């Protein structure tokens, strides 16, 4: 039997994450049964759980993957850019639906599963830290307003982000949301 390279294992893992993201988005955590995960990935449960210990680990990996991408974007371009990217993809793409579904499922599990909430705290802190660091760099560069503490601006942007996620997740039209994001961005910039 030929050996499978690390690149092939990583590619398979990435494929499983993508398919599982869609399954969790469509059915929620509880409804994404192992059978549905098999159908979504086109793999047997043995193949799926070779890469992930169990369904909970698979869901956490999907959510962590999304959080890592978000931290990277926040560090590079700010939380408003994350919102702009989300809005741009909101034109009915399954990628956005999967991402939104994951975000909503994370929110639900944070409220209902203390063990998950404890495990998720580190990821949440990383996003907030990346946002604060980016805002501090912008303030040092003279781009950010200096009459409001960075922590307050961080919370303001997090609330705007949460509101956008909720707006899109409930199926309301994007309409003029790009202009709303312009206002959000202007609110944190130096006049």
Q: What pLDDT does 104 receive?
A: 80
Partner residues linked to 189 by β-bridges: 144
Domain assignment present for residue 158? The answer is yes
Specify the number of domains making up the chain.
Answer: 1
- Residue 136 domain-assigned (yes or no): yes
Look at residue 120 and tell me if it is in a domain: yes
User: Does any domain span residue 44?
Assistant: no
Look at residue 27 and tell me if it is in a domain.
Answer: no
| CB neighbourhood size of 33 (10 A) | 12
Question: Do the Cβ atoms of 105 and 59 come closer than 8 Å?
Answer: yes
Other CB atoms within 10 A of residue 123 CB: 18
**32 contacts 20 by C-beta, under 8 angstroms:** yes
Place of tokens 């009915």: 92
Please give the model's pTM, rounded to 2 decimal places: 0.79
The tokens of 87 are what?
């809005």
Tens of pLDDT, residues 46-101: 999 999 999 989 998 998 888 888 899 999 999 999 899 888 877 555 455 566 77
Q: How many residues does the chain have?
A: 191
67: closest CA among 22, 129, 10, 155?
A: 129
CA 169 – CA 153 distance, rounded (Å): 24
Q: Considering the domain boundaries, does residue 1 fall inside one?
A: no
Contacts of 28 (CB under 8 A, 6+ apart): 101, 105, 108
Does residue 140 sit within a domain?
Answer: yes
The pair of structure tokens assigned to 6 is 């690390």
The CATH number for 172's domain is 1.10.357.10
Please give the torsion angle defined by the CA atoms of residues 17, 20, 25 and 29, in that order, rounded to the nearest 10 degrees.
-110
The pLDDT value recorded for residue 119 is: 83
Look at 4 and 59; give whichever has higher pLDDT: 59
Q: Cβ atoms within 10 A of the Cβ of 159, count? A: 11
- Residue 182: domain span: 55-188
């Amino acid at each position: 039997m030929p050996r499978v390279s690390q690149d092939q294992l990583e590619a398979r893992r990435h494929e499983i994450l993508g398919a599982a993201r869609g399954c969790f988005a469509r059915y929620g955590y509880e409804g994404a049964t192992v059978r549905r995960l098999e159908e979504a990935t086109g793999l047997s449960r043995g193949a799926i759980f070779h890469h992930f210990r169990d369904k909970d680990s698979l869901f956490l990996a999907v959510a962590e993957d999304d959080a890592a991408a978000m931290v990277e974007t926040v560090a590079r371009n700010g939380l408003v850019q994350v919102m702009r990217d989300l809005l741009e993809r909101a034109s009915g793409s399954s990628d956005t639906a999967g991402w939104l579904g994951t975000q909503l499922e994370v929110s639900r599990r944070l409220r209902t599963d203390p063990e998950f909430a404890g495990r998720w705290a580190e990821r949440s802190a990383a996003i907030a830290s990346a946002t604060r660091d980016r805002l501090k760099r912008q303030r040092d560069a003279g781009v950010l307003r200096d009459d409001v503490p960075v922590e307050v601006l961080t919370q303001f942007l997090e609330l705007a982000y949460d509101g956008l996620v909720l707006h899109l997740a409930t199926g309301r039209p994007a309409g003029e949301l790009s202009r709303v994001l312009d206002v959000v961005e202007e609110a944190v910039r130096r006049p």
